[in-house]
Amino acid sequence: MTNSKPRAALAIGILCISIFPTLVKLNLTPGLISAFYRMTFSILLLLPYVLLTKKLNMPSVKMIVLSVLCGIIFASDVAVWNIAIQESSATQASLLTNLSPVWVGIGSFLFLTNKPKRNFWLGTLVAIFGMVTFVGFHFFANLDFDRAFLLAVLSGMLYAVYLLVSKNILSEVDVLSFMTLSLIASSIYLGFVCWIANEPFSGFSNAGWGVLVIQAVVCQLAAWLLISYATQNMRATRVSLSLLGQAILTAILAWLFLDEQITLQMIVGGIILLFGIRITFFEAPISLKSIFSKKE
């Protein structure tokens, strides 16, 4: 299957980022400084590799500017999401951030030549219904529209912009070069923001430093190299909607390490959510035969 490698990369990438909310919720470091070290440790590992192997290919000035812009957008997304998680709950922040497929779909419809197909909108509706079922309908009745809520919504919008812009860049720039340029921009930008905000750059526990390293190696470097490869070879709308699966994996990890419960309702919601994602992977209009067929 021609798309098997990008899909496998996407699945592994989603698994890698799924541990992130659990790590942030441990509150071992401030949200802003956590985002800074996530980017900085990543580029400290990636830059020597691309330089020594001569895999850093400098693109056109336009693509360099867009890559830098992407780095700033993604850094802003991670920073505001970190704060939203620490000031509310991982569930609320993850839910609102993962509404990004809606923004990606709208952005693709308005600005990209490859418009979302009917299956994307149908799959999005089913997946969002699954996510609502997953967290519980009562959750929305109790939403607190405070700063954390607004930051989580902003995070989802920034996430969507990042996916759309990076899709455009990755049509001309290889993944390693794009990641290197964007991570350099992210690190410098977040370092300046943390300095202005008077955030502490040291004084963390050994566990805190360990979490920062894991975030960089697993949640950033490994995850986004894989997801960027998938974005390069798949539709941005499909990638963004598939990332909803992160919520299920995050819930399982929170159950294992944070003693959060998994209920029957969450299981049902997760199945509906994954079914919605499945719908978007059909090329032909949906029918009962196509849904249950193994051919894609």
Please report, in tens digits, the pLDDT of each residue of the chain (296 residues total): 456 788 888 888 888 887 877 788 788 898 889 999 999 999 999 999 999 988 888 888 999 999 999 999 999 988 888 887 777 666 666 666 666 666 666 666 666 566 667 777 777 777 778 777 776 766 666 655 567 777 777 887 888 788 778 878 888 888 889 989 999 999 999 999 999 999 999 999 999 999 999 999 998 888 888 887 887 777 766 676 666 666 667 667 766 766 666 677 777 877 777 677 667 656 555 444 444 444 43
Domain ranges of the chain: 4-292
pTM of the model: 0.74
DSSP for the chain, written as a single string = -TTHHHHHHHHHHHHHHHTHHHHHHT-SS-HHHHHHHHHHHHHHHHHHHHHHTT------HHHHHHHHHHHHHHHHHHHHHHHHHHHS-HHHHHHHHTTHHHHHHHHHHHH-SSPPPHHHHHHHHHHHHHHHHHH-HHHHHT---SHHHHHHHHHHHHHHHHHHHHHHHTTTS-HHHHHHHHHHHHHHHHHHHHHHTT--SS---HHHHHHHHHIIIIIIIIHHHHHHHHHHHS-HHHHHHHGGGHHHHHHHHHHHHS-----HHHHHHHHHHHHHHHHHT-SSPP-HHHHH-S--
pLDDT for 244 equals: 65
